[in-house]
Amino acid sequence: MSMNKVLEKKLLEPLSGNHAVAYAVRDCDVDVISAYPITPQTTIVEKLAEFVASGELDAEFLHVESEHSALSAAIGAAASGARAFTATSSQGLALMYEVLFIASGMRIPMVMALVTRALSAPINIWNDHSDLMASQDTGWIQLVSTNNQEAYDFIIIGYKLSEREDVMLPVMVALDGYIQSHTIEPVQLEDPEKVRKFVPKKKRPVTLDPEKPVSFGTLGDPDWYYEFKIQQAEALERAYQAYKEVSSEFSQYFGRSYEPFQILYGEDSDAILVVLGAHTGTFLKAVEMARREGMKIGLGVIRMLRPFPPEVSKYLSQYSFIGVADKAINFGSASGSYLTNDIATSLYLEGASSRITTYIYGIGGRPVKIEDALYVVRHLWRISKRLEEVPKKPVFVGVRY
Amino acid sequence: MSSSDRFRLREFAVTSLTKYYEGLEQVIRTDRMPHIFCPGCGLGIILKGLAEAILKSGIPINRHVGVSGIGCTGRLPGYLRIDAYHVTHGRAVAFAVGLKLANPELEVTVVGGDGDIVTIGGNHFIHAARRNHDINVIIVNNFIYGMTGGQYGATTPTGSYTTTSPYGHVEYPFNIPLLAYASGATFIARWTPIHYAQMVDAFLQMFEHKGFAVVEIIAPCVLYGERNRFPSYTDMVKYFRDRCVIDHEADLRKIGISLDPKEPLVIGNFYKVRRKTYEELYKELIERVSKEGAKE
């Protein structure tokens, strides 16, 4: 269906997560798209290649020779003042690792979609959060969508946030491979004119400009490097407040808003299960089923992974028992889970004494059925009722021993 | 398609592939059939040709090692009953170089697609060729990234239609034999799967050759074909039959691949020269320095 018809009828468009991202990039009037194919991201850039070729989007489309080059080219474009986009998954993100720090360190505003997928070896093309979690310390703002509408909205929010003068940092928008990327859901597309009014293109204070030459990324010796890094850390911290402002403006424009951290069924619950990403829906269903059985468990949803939202500890410290469901293994770390490490640290700093149980699930695309989610919720309830000890190590859901 | 239909189709594929690879069970893992290659893909024939060459090479099977990266072609060594390493995208040549240096007795063969070897892995390819490492590189060139659904790469002929060039591809492709020659490769050949006997012979020469050996196999890909005037597999086979010109003395500068129907597709064993390999030079260096003693 053509864009105009959608606008006339205000219909919801059935879109895969990848196509929702591509439409958002089109609607943000991105100038440069650089890409390298990788499953399950590829259909994002394929759709964008179509938009560019058909003239629906006036942009340069570069299909480069590796992900390292894809991000490098996007950074180059963004440094010159253009609005840039790229997308990747798994090994592609791993290959970009070096360049991730360049983007954040040079304070490059841009957006990258990450379609989450397990990391090699052994090679696995299915979904988990290994790639997303392993990149959380690269200085990027990370927004994690739970459905295709959020993937569309977060790209738009991402550009607005990224280009704010008090932020000037790259934004990664995560969506789960297959569960979102290849699954069709109704998505409310917005009027591209309205989207472009929400994210207007402005001249940025510092860009590469032949009229006013500047240098980017030159040697920062011990006299200056520290100050650069502190400024970068402060900008990422400011991104939290900036996100709240952008999100509130987004809701005025489009009527949807997303809290960095949201608690569902929190009031009367004995424990809270914290999740992120596409399986949020599965865990929510399990929580609702368990509540009908009288197990009062609430759900906490993290939509902003970096900067880590300060309200997580504020909310969670009210509960004695917390469950954390993580779709990645943090090898050799204190808790074995990236998410638990963050939550435990923030609770400790808050002075809270809540006990945390970690649940690892869905590794390498291992199916997460409602029974698995119910197992987690019931287990957490038994802990909250002191019918079971708090395990010191993660509970591996759905694994064969 | 019902599940019983699917089951019957699978059984048919297993039976016919097992029959196709009959006599090569010593090298081909027929227990892993059906392989993942699409009907009409050239890789099944290349697998058979490589297995036959390994058997005929006279080099014990347990000294052969297959290294591959990512992509359809990357899956090929997994069907061979030899030690095989499936490494990250583009890095098969770099991995193979380390393998060969650690154990020069091994016959190391990299099998990769055009996207893997000359696009994302182009840097490793040219530098390994420059140093004349004694390894073999089979590049299966199907003009496209097949496994991810048909995006253009560094060998996609100008004017091709792909999912990332829906209105025609504007870039110039690599001419692999010329790239290999300019980088320093010392054995260069190009064949197609329908030139089966010549392809097996080129593999044998490649095993025999000491130095960096490159065999490019231009292979049909149904994903490329369906968007580019070859709606069925037979169209691509017909294209290879009609357009291929065997010219062992061809000027490598003039054998770039074009979609122009008037242009021939030049194949042959183009280049072979004996030059000391990196492994030989390195061994000589160690011997010389050991004899002379370390510098003061």
Edge to edge, the sheet with strand A355-360 lists A261-264, A297-302, A271-275, A321-326, A355-360, A395-396
Judged by CB atoms closer than 8 Å, whether chains meet at B152 and A63 is answered as yes
| A3 has a pLDDT exceeding 70 | no
CA distance A315 to A324: 14
Q: What string of DSSP letters covers A92-155?
A: HHHHHHHHHHHHHHTT---EEEEEE-PPSSSP--S--SHHHHHTTTSS-EEEE-SSHHHHHHHH
- Residue A94's closest CA among A54, A59, A123? A123
Judged by CB atoms closer than 8 Å, whether chains meet at B120 and A50 is answered as no
Would you place residue A1 in the very low, low, confident or very high pLDDT band (cuts 50, 70, 90)?
A: very low
Q: Residue A169 belongs to what H/E stretch?
A: none
Fold for domain B42-295? Rossmann fold (3.40.50)
| A7 has a pLDDT exceeding 60 | no
Strand positions, DSSP E, chain B = 64-68, 83-86, 107-113, 136-141, 187-191, 213-218, 244-246, 265-272
3-state secondary structure A231-254: HHHHHHHHHHHHHHHHHHHHHHHH
| CB-based burial label for A330 (10 Å; 0-12, 13-18, 19+) | buried
Whole-number Cα distances in Å, A27 to A30, A190, A242, A356, B189: 8, 8, 22, 42, 49
- Residue A21's closest CA among A110, A194, A191, A150? A150
Sign, CA dihedral A157-A160-A161-A162, equals positive
- Residue A302's closest CA among A336, A246, A347, A343? A343
**pLDDT mean across residues, chain A:** 95
**What number of H helices and E strands is found in chain A?**
13, 15
Q: What string of DSSP letters covers B78-108?
A: GGBSSEEEE-STT-HHHHHHHHHHH-TTSEE
Who contacts A397 (Cβ-Cβ below 8 Å, separation ≥6)? Answer: A359, A360, A361, A362, A368, A372, A375, A376
Decide: A384 and A270 in contact? Cβ < 8 Å: yes
Question: CA-based angle B41:B44:B46, to the nearest 5?
Answer: 105
Q: What is the pLDDT of residue B5?
A: 86
From the CA of B88, how many Å to the nearest CA of chain A? 8
Torsion of CA A341, A342, A343, A344, to 10 degrees: 40
Q: What are phi and psi of A86, to 5 degrees?
A: -150, 170
CA distance B70 to B115: 9
Fold for domain A262-396? Rossmann fold (3.40.50)
CA distance A261 to B248: 67
Instruction: List per-residue pLDDT tens for chain B, 296 residues long.
Output: 788 888 888 899 999 999 999 999 999 999 999 999 998 899 999 999 999 999 999 999 999 999 999 999 999 999 999 999 999 999 999 999 999 999 999 999 999 999 999 999 999 999 999 999 999 999 999 999 999 989 999 999 999 999 999 999 999 999 999 999 999 999 999 999 999 999 999 999 999 999 999 999 999 999 998 888 888 888 888 888 899 999 999 999 999 999 888 899 999 999 999 999 999 999 999 999 999 887 76
First to last CA, chain A: 49
Q: What is the pLDDT of residue B18?
A: 93
Inter-chain CB pairs, A–B, below 8 Å? 52
Count CB neighbours of A233 within 10 A: 12
Give the nearest chain A residue to B155 (CA atoms): A65
Contacts of A65 in chain B (CB under 8 A): 119-120, 122, 153-154
pTM (two decimals): 0.91
Q: What is the pLDDT of residue B23?
A: 94
| Mutation choice for A interface testing from B86, B87, B120, B152 by most A CBs within 10 A | B120
Strand-pair category, A141-144 with A304-306: antiparallel
Q: What is the pLDDT of residue A121?
A: 93
Compute the average pLDDT of residues A41-70: 95
Yes or no: is domain A7-254 CATH 3.40.50.300?
Answer: no
Decide: B213 and B136 in contact? Cβ < 8 Å: yes
Domain boundaries, chain A: 7-254, 262-396
Q: What is the pLDDT of residue B71?
A: 93
Per-residue pLDDT tens over the stretch A79-136? 999 999 999 999 999 999 999 999 999 999 999 999 999 999 999 999 999 999 999 9
Q: What are phi and psi of B103, to 5 degrees?
A: -140, 85
Judged by CB atoms closer than 8 Å, whether chains meet at B166 and A49 is answered as yes
ipTM of the complex: 0.84
CB-nearest to A49 from B88, B148, B163 is B163
Q: What is the pLDDT of residue B3?
A: 82
CB-nearest to B120 from A50, A54, A66 is A66
From the CA of B242, how many Å to the nearest CA of chain A? 32
Would you place residue A10 in the very low, low, confident or very high pLDDT band (cuts 50, 70, 90)?
A: low
Compute the average pLDDT of residues A353-370: 97
Whether residue A56 lies within 8 A of chain B, CB to CB, comes out as: no
Compute the average pLDDT of residues A216-226: 93
Domain boundaries, chain B: 42-295
Judged by CB atoms closer than 8 Å, whether chains meet at A65 and B163 is answered as no
Length of chain A: 401
Position A164: which residue type?
R
Angle of helix B122-130 relative to helix B176-183, nearest 10 degrees, comes to: 50
Q: What is the pLDDT of residue A205?
A: 87
Q: What is the pLDDT of residue A264?
A: 97
Judged by CB atoms closer than 8 Å, whether chains meet at B151 and A37 is answered as yes
